[in-house]
């Protein structure tokens, strides 16, 4: 069965703090239409694609903080995106800040959804690996307070049937953790959609190594190759409220090769034809998990959180 289709990464340039959601949605719709004009069936938008990257600030006022979250999706501001996608028959991945009420408690997640070509939500993922801190760090030009504003995701790393294959999702920092890819690899994932907001000066000590771009691609290329999966990694990038974030959105083949990459730090659509069967040649040989993996030797990976003494 032919499992080929055109996929797009719809990279966003900066979103200003004051930029209204409807403006972001208009940008997303414009790129959706551009991707559709090039034959794309799936468009991957960035992490937190509806607002500026607000975890860069310490926000004390609860109402100010709550305003960064979506309480329904689609909602009034995002419905036009879902309608345009259904009208064009194009699916998409969208990252956003999610607020739910559960047992009378408000809960907050850094979330992404996968939407089919009919505009219906196929699946949801909540970011497991939250970088940065839960309290403001002194002396930083920008904070990184995802651990303060979000809970770790509670949906695991699910894989969803769609687009002729199995589609998984990650969000930003997840791509640096091999376990995230492997859990999806063990579910036969064919393509992982991934949005990111990656500040160059994440650590608070300036650009510690000048390698943020290299590590961005290294993480995704390794994950793709070691799990025989396609990866579409889409940035929100450029200088956003003074914070420079990496671009170089990329479409990466199961071979680990980058087959398309963004060239700007602005709204930019890149596309590529993916063959979901390309991973097969690796899954049936080098990465035939059933023949080669030895889970009995991997206990530390599941049972130990931090590095410890030799066993
Ligand atoms: N951002 C960054 C990411 O993992 C970061 C945090 C930046 C970590 C640079 C390491 C180096 O790409 C988010 N939002 O996870």
Per-residue confidence (pLDDT) for residue 2, from 0 to 100: 82
Ligand 1 centre distance from Cα of residue 292 (Å): 32
Ligand 1 atom at shortest distance from the alpha carbon of 48 = 14
Cβ of 197 less than 6 Å from ligand 1: yes
47 labelled catalytic: yes
What domains does the chain contain, in order, with CATH numbers? 4-303 (3.60.110.10)
Q: What are phi and psi of 288, to 5 degrees?
A: -75, 90
Ligand 1 centre distance from Cα of residue 206 (Å): 14
Ligand 1 atom at shortest distance from the alpha carbon of 127 = 15
Classify the C-alpha dihedral 9-231-246-128 as positive or negative: positive
Write the DSSP assignment of 214-247 as a string of letters: HHHHHHHHHHHHHTT-EEEEEEE-EEETTEEE--
Question: Which residues in the chain show pLDDT less than 70?
Answer: 1
Q: 132: left (phi > 0), else alpha (psi -120 to 50), else beta? A: left
Per-residue confidence (pLDDT) for residue 17, from 0 to 100: 98
Instruction: Give the span between the Cα atoms of 298 and 55, in whole angstroms.
Output: 34
Ligand 1 centre distance from Cα of residue 171 (Å): 10
Classify the C-alpha dihedral 287-226-167-128 as positive or negative: positive
- pTM comes to 0.98
Per-residue confidence (pLDDT) for residue 205, from 0 to 100: 81
Q: 239: left (phi > 0), else alpha (psi -120 to 50), else beta? A: beta
Per-residue model confidence as pLDDT tens digits over 83-142: 999 999 999 999 999 999 999 999 999 999 999 999 999 999 999 999 999 999 999 999
Per-residue model confidence as pLDDT tens digits over 135-164: 999 999 999 999 999 999 999 999 999 999
Cβ of 199 less than 6 Å from ligand 1: yes
Per-residue confidence (pLDDT) for residue 201, from 0 to 100: 87
Per-residue model confidence as pLDDT tens digits over 111-124: 999 999 999 999 99
For 154-173, give the secondary structure using H, E and C: CCCCCEEEECCEEEEEEEHH
Cβ of 176 less than 6 Å from ligand 1: yes
Per-residue confidence (pLDDT) for residue 45, from 0 to 100: 99
Mutate to test the pocket of ligand 1, among 144, 211, 214 (most ligand atoms within 8 A of CB): 144
24 labelled catalytic: no
């Amino acid at each position: 069965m032919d499992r080929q289709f055109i996929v797009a990464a719809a990279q966003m340039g900066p979103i200003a703090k004051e930029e209204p959601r409807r403006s972001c949605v208009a940008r997303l719709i414009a790129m959706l239409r551009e991707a559709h004009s090039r034959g794309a069936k799936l468009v991957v938008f960035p992490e937190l694609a509806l607002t500026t990257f607000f975890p860069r600030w310490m926000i004390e006022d609860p109402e100010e903080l709550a305003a960064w979250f979506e309480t329904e999706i689609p909602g009034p501001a995002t419905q036009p995106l879902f309608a345009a996608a259904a009208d064009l028959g194009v699916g998409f991945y969208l990252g956003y800040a999610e607020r739910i009420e559960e047992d009378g408690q408000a809960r907050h997640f850094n979330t992404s959804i996968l939407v089919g070509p009919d505009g219906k939500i196929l699946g949801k993922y909540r970011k497991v690996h939250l970088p940065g801190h839960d309290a403001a760090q002194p002396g930083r030009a920008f904070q990184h307070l995802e651990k303060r504003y979000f809970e770790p995701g509670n949906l695991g790393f699910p894989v969803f049937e769609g687009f002729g294959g199995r589609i998984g999702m990650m969000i930003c920092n997840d791509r640096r953790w091999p376990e995230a890819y492997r859990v999806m690899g063990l579910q036969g994932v064919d393509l992982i959609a991934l949005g990111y907001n990656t500040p160059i000066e994440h650590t608070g000590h300036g650009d510690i190594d000048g390698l943020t771009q290299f590590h961005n691609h290294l993480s995704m290329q390794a994950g793709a190759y070691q799990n025989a999966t396609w990866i579409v990694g889409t940035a929100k990038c450029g200088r956003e409220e003074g914070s420079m974030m990496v671009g170089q959105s990329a479409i990466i083949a199961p071979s680990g090769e980058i087959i398309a990459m963004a060239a700007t730090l602005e709204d930019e659509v890149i596309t590529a034809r993916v063959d979901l069967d390309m991973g097969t040649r690796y899954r049936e040989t080098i990465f035939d998990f059933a023949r080669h993996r030895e889970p009995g030797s991997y206990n530390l990976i599941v049972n130990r959180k931090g590095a410890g003494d030799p066993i």
